A = this chain, B = another copy of it.
């Protein structure tokens, strides 16, 4: 194998680390991959670490000990967070997005890969997920966002279904009251999906009364699973009292004025401070 120059090793190392957020690579992995000495690789890592920090591109962490190595942790700084969220608000606050019934058309935004990739890293910055085992969501609109959060945190994604599916095996089903429509809905999850004692973070695209999030919490109780946090892309300002106590919204929907053709989505001030 051709020996790479330092420049080239660094380029390849950043690509590999960046593609696998929160995955620990041993130093041996790189010494073998690059046919280089351990001391050389260690020097490379110092350069990569410095560059990521200087350019606000996340953090490189070295872990010592037998299970040690190096990993990349995605972190979105306050300034970049503000840019990302402002940008989404500008797209959202367009009167042609108002649908009959005062709903908001936003699938083009929440299914846009690069946008939700950025939001995934932003959520990873907001939560402590060191001891978390999985990301939970319920079909359908929250799936892309939840997947990108799971990717950034290097955690498996678990999707709750609206009904039983033959491809899920034996399932647990619960009923819950969807707050915004006041109707009883049902969600189900494969019994294989989670082990008792696991810890999870719930991610969804939208929260009004919090009924769906409450349903997911109830489902986690059935699995004896601990909910460590709830993240939503947009929470409505009203009702202020929701069915769940603690949740992290990235954006706040102040108002949809259907008659005035006005939408008012703003960044959650706590995120961009």
Which residues from chain A sit less than 8 Å from chain B, CB to CB?
A: 2, 4-12, 14-16, 18-20, 23, 33, 47-48, 50-52, 54-55, 57-58, 99-101, 103-108, 111-114, 116-117, 139-141, 143-144, 147-148, 150-151, 154-159, 161, 166-169, 190, 192-193
Contacts and interface: CB of A to CB of B under 8 A. Distances in A.
A55 B1 CA distance: 10
Q: What number of copies of this chain does the assembly contain? A: 2
A51 B11 contact: yes
Contacts of A10: 7, 10-11, 14
Given A111-B157, A151-B117, A52 B166 contact: no
B150 A51 contact: no
Contacts of A50: 8
Given A151-B117, A154-B114, A8 B51 contact: yes
Contacts of A2: 54
Contact of A105 (B112, B141, B168): B168
A11 B167 contact: no
A61 to B, nearest CB: 15
Contacts of A148: 147
A145 B262 CA distance: 35
A139 B166 CA distance: 15
Contacts of A192: 105, 108
Contact of A15 (B8, B57, B155, B156): B57
A166 B103 contact: yes
Contacts of A193: 107-108
B48 A11 contact: yes
Contacts of A154: 113-114
A105 B190 contact: yes
Q: Which 8 A-B pairs have the closest CB atoms?
A: A11-B51, A8-B51, A113-B151, A14-B14, A12-B55, A111-B157, A113-B150, A99-B169
Contacts of A9: 51
A133 to B, nearest CB: 13
Contacts of A47: 5, 7-8, 11
